[in-house]
Chains A and B, each alone.
Chain A
Amino acid sequence: AQSVAQPEDQVNVAEGNPLTVKCTYSVSGNPYLFWYVQYPNRGLQFLLKYITGDNLVKGSYGFEAEFNKSQTSFHLKKPSALVSDSALYFCASLRGGGYNKLIFGAGTRLAVHP
């Protein structure tokens, strides 16, 4: 069965420091991976996706993610965290083959402290 795991419920980082939010996946076939962010009382916002090509994917708001096939990981990164990055982050895998449904991880709450 296809699944996505986010091993950390919460990540704390100081403003200005680099941040990493971890995601591992288990899929059959080619992985199609996404990161979304959810701010309080808001819907999910798309950050970036990996479909094929370069393992380093650049997305919105200075975020990037590194696809690692051998480690089945797709970690979200940002070189310098902002307090405004504090939010709930979801990693997701797309079940393709015509279905197109997103399988979400449990989410990781990122707290950036001034």
Chain B
Amino acid sequence: DSGVTQTPKHLITATGQRVTLRCSPRSGDLSVYWYQQSLDQGLQFLIQYYNGEERAKGNILERFSAQQFPDLHSELNLSSLELGDSALYFCASSVGLGISYNEQFFGPGTRLTVL
């Protein structure tokens, strides 16, 4: 158990809908990352937050957004869902920034199925 929790474990929804994925980082970790794992794209970095502020963006669609709250949990919002958004979404956390503090611990993931 990495200490990172994600809810829900599974999510089934229809095209055009909006969903919210939730992540609680390990106790003491200030940095949260979101990744998407799909068969055709592999594991891709989406976005990073550090202590409530956005720090880096990867291949995140405009239909997707995220935030990190004062208690450090994070939410990933996916809207206007398409079939191609079906994937496993991982949250990871690390202590902070900088190379020495960047061992990322991954949650179990949320499997999103868009029908």
Which A positions have Cβ atoms within 8 angstroms of B?
32, 36, 41-46, 49, 51, 90, 94, 96, 98-107
Contacts and interface: CB of A to CB of B under 8 A. Distances in A.
A49 B33 contact: no
A98 B55 contact: yes
Given A41-B108, A90-B43, A98-B55, 13 more contacts: A43-B2, A43-B106, A45-B106, A46-B103, A46-B105, A100-B33, A100-B97, A101-B45, A101-B56, A102-B104, A104-B42, A104-B43, A107-B43
Interface of B: 2, 4, 31, 33, 35, 42-45, 48, 55-56, 58, 90, 92, 94, 97-100, 102-109
Contacts of A51: 99-100
Q: Which 7 A-B pairs have the closest CB atoms?
A: A43-B106, A104-B43, A101-B45, A44-B106, A99-B56, A43-B108, A106-B42
Given A43-B2, A90-B43, A98 B97 contact: yes
Contact of B107 (A41, A43, A98): A43
Contacts of B97: 98, 100
Most buried by B among A96, A100, A102: A100
A86 B35 CA distance: 23
Contacts of A44: 90, 92, 106
A5 B70 CA distance: 38
A94 B102 contact: yes
Given A44-B90, A101-B33, A107 B103 contact: no
